[in-house]
Amino acid sequence: MARNVAQLNVVQNARPLAQNEPNFFLPEEEELSRRFLEDGYVIVPVENRIALDRLRATVAEAAAKWLGVDTPSDAGTFLDNIHARAPYDRINEMRLSVINSLNTQPWVSRAYFSLARKTVETLVGNELAMQRRLNLSVQMPNDETSVLPVHADVWDGDSPFEVVQWTPLVDCKGTKAMFLLPPKADARHAAEFRRFDGKSVEDLFRAIEPDVIWPEVKYGETMVFSLNLMHGNRVNFEPGTRWSFNCRLKGLFSPYADKRLGEFFEPITVRAASRFGLDYAYLEGFDE
């Protein structure tokens, strides 16, 4: 808890957005930042469609292998309709097999970063740490076992300086997507949290439900959102299966919580000046 208070002080002191303070952003950077602060997320077209298509084809291939069927020619349709072939009681096993096979391939993290590099650099910084392993969600229609109830990742070991980059492999809307509580509503509900002592996450969801939004994210787009805000998903009542990646990114030098650099995160864009700085050893006996 002490850690969180210290981090909040850092945030208050460093908050650059008060009026009359200098702002050296380009107009498009300022607009993106404004949207992120106001809505808690931004959705942008991917910057590297070839990388997204390759990621999707690799997922489809791994899923087909697990199912023992031919590699599909249309990866999108195959993934969207996987519930017609995949056993509901083994969906988590399939999901883990697919994501483990992706995470052994060194190109995958680099390809994922290339989907939203400019957006992440604008919102987070250009000297970054990235989650070592991508996560994958698979939510087949009416599957209650894959639901991730309302939470904020900061409640469970993530630093409030992290963002999540969330990228679907199929078009997502309604309950096939995830939900998010925008910043103003999140602050209002968080202030009333005491009322939830001893209540369930379902009670919490019912309380926030009128204020949550379900961002529509199509294949070809990626979403970046703040994991300080309450979010999660519900049973997917849309006809198709949801497939989405999520991956956390943060400023290399911003405060860490339980998810450490070198364990959960790896540095991906250490700048030359920082390398000099990190390597520098002050001369001993030279105090004058």
CA-based angle 158:159:165, to the nearest 5?
Answer: 70
147 Cβ neighbours under 8 A, 6+ residues apart: 139, 232, 233, 234, 235
265 binds, among ligand AKG, Fe ion, none (CB under 5 to 8 A by kind): none
Q: How far is the CB of 272 from ligand AKG (least distance, A)?
A: 32
244 binds, among Fe ion, ligand AKG, none (CB under 5 to 8 A by kind): ligand AKG
Of residues 51 and 134, the one with the C-beta less far from ligand AKG: 134
Q: How far is the CB of 24 from ligand AKG (least distance, A)?
A: 31
Output the six-digit token pair for 108. Answer: 């995958």
Of residues 153 and 162, the one with the C-beta less far from Fe ion: 153
Phi, psi of 136, deg, nearest 5: -130, 135
Q: How far is the CB of 237 from ligand AKG (least distance, A)?
A: 14
| Phi-psi category of residue 220: left, alpha or beta, with phi > 0 → left and psi -120 to 50 → alpha | left
Nearest to residue 244, comparing CAs of 181, 165, 175?
165
Site string for ligand AKG, 133-152 (x = CB under 6 A): ----x----------x----
232 pairs with which residues across the strands? Answer: 179
**For ligand AKG, which residue of 58, 131, 244, 254 counts as binding (CB under 6 A)?**
244
181 binds, among Fe ion, ligand AKG, none (CB under 5 to 8 A by kind): none
221 binds, among ligand AKG, Fe ion, none (CB under 5 to 8 A by kind): none
Q: Which long-range contacts (CB under 8 A, 24 or more apart) does 187-194 make?
A: 189/230, 190/230
Q: How far is the CB of 271 from ligand AKG (least distance, A)?
A: 27
Output the six-digit token pair for 238. Answer: 């849309």
163 binds, among Fe ion, ligand AKG, none (CB under 5 to 8 A by kind): none
Count Cβ atoms within 10 A of the Cβ of residue 139 and give its class: 0-12 exposed, 13-18 middle, 19 or more buried. Answer: buried
**For ligand AKG, which residue of 51, 79, 120, 178 counts as binding (CB under 6 A)?**
178
Report 213-232 residues binding ligand AKG (CB under 6 A). Answer: 227, 231-232
Report 22-61 residues binding ligand AKG (CB under 6 A). Answer: none
Rg, C-alpha atoms of the chain: 21
What is the binding site for Fe ion (CB under 5 A)? Answer: 153
The conformation of residue 101, written as its DSSP 8-state character, comes to H
Phi, psi of 207, deg, nearest 5: -70, -40
The dihedral over CA atoms of 79, 80, 86, 89, expressed in degrees to the nearest 10, equals 120
Of residues 41 and 78, the one with the C-beta less far from ligand AKG: 41
Q: How far is the CB of 47 from ligand AKG (least distance, A)?
A: 20
**For ligand AKG, which residue of 228, 233, 236, 254 counts as binding (CB under 6 A)?**
233
Residues found near ligand AKG in the complex (CB under 6 A): 137, 148, 153, 164, 166, 178, 227, 231-233, 244, 246
